[in-house]
Structure 1
C-alpha cells in the first residue's frame, strides 16, 4: 500500500493519530460545505495555506514547498474538473468547486504525510469499534478508509506519469490525449487493488 508518510517532528507529527484524523476530517468537511462562490474559493485556498503553514512539515518554507508539490501532482485532475464544470456551470461555480476539491485533497494529504499507515489503521479501528453493534467490522471499515486515503496519491502519480510519457513522445498536451490513458491506468489500478484485497480475504 502506497504511503506518503514523511518522518518529522512537527506539530502534526507529534499529534496522536486519533485526534489528528478528527481534525483533518473536520477541515475537509468544512471546505466541502463552503458555497460555490468566489469567496468560498478564497476561504478554501486560505485555509489550506494556513493549515500547511501550521503543520510543521519542516520543508524550509513553512509548508509551502510541500503544498506546491501536492498541488502540482493534482494539476491534471484539477484541470479536468475545472474544464468540465466550466462547460456546464460557468466560471464562478467551476472555480469554486475546483478550489474546494483541491483543498480537500491536499488537506487529506496532511494526514498521510504525518501519520504512519499502521498508526492510522489502529486509530480508525478504535474509533469504529462502536459500529460492531450494527454488525459492521471495524477492522474492515478502517482498512477501506485507509485504502481510500492512500489511493489519492496513487492517482496523482498516475497523472504525472501520463504527462511525462506524453512529453517523452513529443505529444501535444491536449486534454483528450491525457484523459484516455489516465482513465485506463486508473481503472487498471482499481482492478489490481481489488484483486489484492480479495487475495487477503477482503470481500
Structure 2
C-alpha cells in the first residue's frame, strides 16, 4: 500500500499510534467546529503552521517546508472547494470552509507522515475491539479508517506528480488537460489498493 510515511526520530514519530491518532483527530475536530467567520481562516492556518513547526519532522524549517509541499499538493482541492463555496455561500464562509478543510487534511497528513500503516491499523483495531460485542467487525473498520486517512494525501501527491509530468512535457497549466490524466492515475491507485486489500484477504 502506498503511504506517505517518512522515518524520523521526532517526538511525534516516537508517540504511540493510538494517543497520536486521538490527539490529531481532536485538533481536526476543533478546527472543523469553528464558525464560518473570517477569523476562522487565520486560526486554521495558525493551527496547521504550529502543528508542522512543533511536529519534529526534522531540523530547521523542515516542518514548514513539508507543510508547503502538502499545501501545494492540495492546491486543486483548495481551488475547487473555494470556487464552489463562493458560488453558493459567499466570500466569508467560502474562505473559512476552505481553510478548515485544508487544515484538516494537512493535519491528517501528519499522522500518515509520522506513523506506519501497520501501527495505525493495529491502534484503531484495538480501540474498536470492545465494540465487537455489538457485532462490529473491528478489523474491517480499522482498515477502512486507515485507508481513508491515507488516501487523500496520497492523491494530493499523485496530482502534483501529474502536474510535474505535464510541465516537463511543456503542457500548459490547464485544468482541462489535468483532469483526465489525474482521473486515470487515481483509478490506477484505486486498482492497486484493491489488489493489495485482496491479497490480504479482504473481500
Partner of 2:106: 106
How is 1:24-43 mapped onto 2 (pairs within 5 angstroms)? 24-43=24-43
Give the aligned partner of residue 117 of structure 1.
Answer: 117
How far residue 31 of structure 1 moved from its aligned partner, in angstroms, is: 1.3
Does the 8 Å contact 2:45/2:99 carry over to 1?
Answer: yes
Number of the residue aligned with 1:71: 71
Cα distance 1:88–1:179, how it changes in 2: closer, same or farther (>3 A)?
farther
Check whether the contact 1:54–1:62 (CA below 8 A) recurs between aligned residues.
no
CA contact (8 A) 2:105 2:153 kept: no
| Contact 1:59–1:65 (Cα < 8 Å) also in 2 | no
* Residue number in structure 2 paired with 1:16: 16
> In the superposition, relative to structure 1, how do residues 56 and 200 fare at CA in structure 2: closer, same or farther (>3 Å)?
closer
Measure, in 1, the Cα distance between the counterparts of 2:157 and 2:63.
Answer: 20
Number of paired residues?
A: 203
Deviation at 1:136, TM superposition (A): 1.4
**Cα distance in 2 between the residues matched to 1:84 and 1:160:** 21
Contact 1:80 1:175 in 2 (8 A): no
Q: Which residue of structure 1 aligns with residue 152 of structure 2? A: 152
Does the aligned pair in 1 maintain the 2:4–2:154 contact within 8 Å? no
Q: Give the 5 Å matches for 1:77-96.
A: 77-96=77-96
- Runs in 1 of length 4+ with deviation above 6 angstroms? none
**Unmatched tracts of structure 1, length 5 or more:** none
Q: Is the 8 A contact 2:24 2:107 kept in 1?
A: yes
Q: What is the distance in 2 between the residues matched to 1:69 and 1:136?
A: 38
Give the alignment's Cα RMSD to 1 decimal: 1.8
Between 121-130 and 152-161, report the one with greater CA deviation: 152-161
**Structure 2: gaps spanning 5 or more residues:** none
Corresponding residue for residue 179 of structure 1: 179
Provide the TM-score with structure 2 as the length reference. 0.90
> 92-101 or 165-174, which moves further after superposition?
165-174
Deviations 1:126-182 (A, max 9, x none): 101011012111111111111112212221122112212332333322233323432
Give the superposition deviation at 1:87: 2.4
Deviations 1:17-70 (A, max 9, x none): 111110011111111111222111111111111111221111421621111111
2:165 aligned residue: 165
Quote how far apart the aligned CAs of 1:111 are.
Answer: 0.9
TM score, norm. by length of structure 1: 0.90
Residue 172 of structure 2 aligns to a residue whose secondary structure is coil
Change (3 A) 1:31 1:137: same
